[in-house]
Structure 1
Amino acid sequence: MRPEVRAFVVDGPLPDRDASEKEIDRCAEQLEQIPKPVTSEEARALVSCFGPQDCYGVAWALMHLIETGPNPVLATDPGPDANEWHQRLFLRAVNGGLIP
């Protein structure tokens, strides 16, 4: 796993709406430093970084970065109680014809 991905993953899930602007900017900048495409190992690790909210759009950037890797990252339905971003990744793979 490349150091940029490892550093992002080590920082844990994306912050919620109560985070400071500085913290959100730091996450966005870290994410932008990750070269594309990601590997399948990196994509799987990055899936764990979704927080409970969209983090002012940073979650969308994370999802698009994950999708640069070999798809699908989530090959089985994560279920109704899963994080909404995991559900989105799965449904996007289904809608894209990557999962029957």
Structure 2
Amino acid sequence: MALRREVADLVMAGPLPDEDAEVEAISEAQRLIERISKPVTDDEAQALATLFGPDNCFGLAWTLLHIIETAPGASGAQYTERTDNEWVQLLNARVEAGRSLAEGER
């Protein structure tokens, strides 16, 4: 799986910190996220989906989710890593909702 440098840097940093983390850790996560240009590839989206932390991280989780959804295959993706995480569950639920809407339009 080939990842662009800015995506690989965020992946190497690990999951988003929780809202109780030091300001520096949250700021670094934000800096790394802001470096990612959209759209991301399907492989990058899969890698980024492993980075959700335990909470919203002051909105960074939503930003990450929206970046993931820019992948060309996002509407049919299945995020199978860390399925116990509420953000991964939300991603999968959004994919399923979109699929259901598309099927209803046919």
TM-score, length of structure 2 as denominator length: 0.82
Matched-pair identity in %: 43
Deviations 1:76-95 (A, max 9, x none): 7x86xx10001100111111
Runs of 5+ consecutive residues of structure 1 not aligned to the other structure: none
Aligned length, in residue pairs: 97
Instruction: Give the whole-Å Cα distance in 1 for the aligned partners of 2:7 and 2:77.
Output: 16
8 Å Cα contact 1:15/1:24 also seen in 2: yes
Structure label with greater radius of gyration? 2
8 Å Cα contact 1:74/1:86 also seen in 2: no
Q: Post-superposition, which runs of at least 4 consecutive aligned residues in structure 1 deviate over 4 A?
A: none
Q: Which residue of 2 aligns with 1:96?
A: 98
Q: Which residue of 2 aligns with 1:45?
A: 47
Q: Which residue of 1 aligns with 2:23?
A: 21
Runs of 5+ consecutive residues of structure 2 not aligned to the other structure: none
TM-score, length of structure 1 as denominator length: 0.86
Q: Pairwise CA RMSD of aligned residues?
A: 2.1
